Chains A and B, each alone.
Chain A
């Protein structure tokens, strides 16, 4: 199959849903989704036998449009259907789709799915459903949630979507910054969800990451949204995506930065990340995305034993002022241990334990064990690795920790 139609169905799904919501209102989202799903099904059945038409997008749009009109017409006779929607007289033509402002409609849909009335998990799920065309099952495996939980969350989110969104719009100037922040946060969380190392379903997780990048790049088409923060976020995502294939080693075990096979890094994506970061750096403003991208760029552009840990630590000191969450603090301690040595870092780790509930995090015990093993306290380190294992259910992480235990045992002997 030619490249131009790679992901054709997925992308058309989101484009056509966005176009029809713009035309007929968010209140009809269920009916619209059904229509698009049906026309994709029809397209699939025909194109199994025949070559794709010249304009498959237009064909799918026309077919979906006609189906939704049929549905509205049928439902208008029912008393339960109380939407006041005019049925346009004119039929659409396949070529109408190209000219009908798809990009704007998609951007509006992004803002609608990331609407502040929706909770964070709802924003993520709706984005995956409506902007990325994922099925409930795919969303479940991407977010490691069971089908029932996904179904419930989606239907709750859709209820709000139907009642509150109406016709999606680009936010006005007063709220634009805030709304754009929310969109970037959703994209950032989406990417992180996809990037979490898990066993099985690796493909779908990778897809989530690249969908997050795609949505972010859609925003760059519009000058108003093309902020330095957005550039920094895209840089961050590309830096991490570039290392995707190296994160799991040949035996299927998580490989930390020092152990990754660098020939598996995607050089093109690292370069792309670099150019986004360069553009992002022209602004005076420094966001968390800037800092995280800068850290990722240090990792990506120097050999492991040439990493400037002092600089990394400085970046973490900055990041902590924006986000003082335990995970950031823990990562800062790792950088710190490279600069000032394990004793001081271990002391800092104990301080951190005093001030927050961080000890429940598996990462805490992993780092603790690492520092202890550097200090020759092997038996304590082994105990903490066991504790870390008891605090995660992620199989990839468990395997990773088990391997560390084996390594430590061999040092002990």
Chain B
């Protein structure tokens, strides 16, 4: 069993237009999806990332505010899951509610020594 990381990108543009009721409905979809992952023993960990950040370059001499990528490229959160294979991990990610908001999921294996 290996661990895989989901990186979530985008979805913000759609989210800001949502009404409170729709936001809550969307949140409940996530809770259900993650709850299912947890109850099948797949879920390891996950958290959202704040919008603001710093980017350090040139041995730390250059410090920029924020991820400068476009909204749809910014990583908004991550999740770590247990899975037999990359294919299975990708299959699990297909149910992710982020697609309702036109966001994307990147699936990567976490390498273990």
Give chain A interface residues in 28-79, CB to chain B under 8 Å. Answer: 37, 40-41, 44-50
Q: Are B20 and A133 neighbours in the complex by a CB distance under 8 Å?
A: yes
Residue of A nearest to B30 (CB): A48
Instruction: Identify which of B19, B21, B22, B34 contacts A48 (C-beta below 8 A).
Output: B34
Which residues of B are found within 8 Å of A40, using beta-carbon distances?
20, 23
Interface 1/0 per residue, A126-167 and B, CB below 8 Å:
000000011101100000000000000000000000000000
Q: Are B26 and A1 neighbours in the complex by a CB distance under 8 Å?
A: no
A8 within 8 A of B: yes
Which residues of A are found within 8 Å of B110, using beta-carbon distances?
none
Interface 1/0 per residue, A1-20 and B, CB below 8 Å:
10001011110110000000
Give chain B interface residues in 76-106, CB to chain A under 8 Å. Answer: 76-77, 79
Instruction: Identify which of A13, A44, A207 contacts B26 (C-beta below 8 A).
Output: A44
Which residues of B are found within 8 Å of A1, using beta-carbon distances?
28, 31
Q: Are B24 and A10 neighbours in the complex by a CB distance under 8 Å?
A: yes
- What's the Cα separation between A48 and B34 when bound, in Å? 8
Q: Are B17 and A8 neighbours in the complex by a CB distance under 8 Å?
A: no
B27 within 8 A of A: yes
Q: Are A134 and B19 neighbours in the complex by a CB distance under 8 Å?
A: yes
Taking A45-B77, A48-B34 as contacts, is the C-beta distance between A135 and B22 under 8 angstroms? yes
Interface 1/0 per residue, B1-20 and A, CB below 8 Å:
00000000000000111111
Interface 1/0 per residue, B40-76 and A, CB below 8 Å:
0000001110000000000000000000000000001
Taking A41-B15, A44-B26 as contacts, is the C-beta distance between A10 and B34 under 8 angstroms? no
**In the complex, what's the smallest C-beta–C-beta distance from B47 to chain A, in angstroms?**
5
Instruction: Identify which of A13, A49, A133 contacts B77 (C-beta below 8 A).
Output: A49
Which residues of B are found within 8 Å of A49, using beta-carbon distances?
30, 34, 46-48, 77, 79
Other CB < 8 Å A-B pairs besides A44-B24, A49-B48, 7 of them?
A8-B24, A10-B20, A37-B16, A40-B20, A47-B31, A49-B30, A133-B19
- State the A residues within 8 Å of B (CB): 1, 5, 7-10, 12-13, 37, 40-41, 44-50, 133-135, 137-138, 207
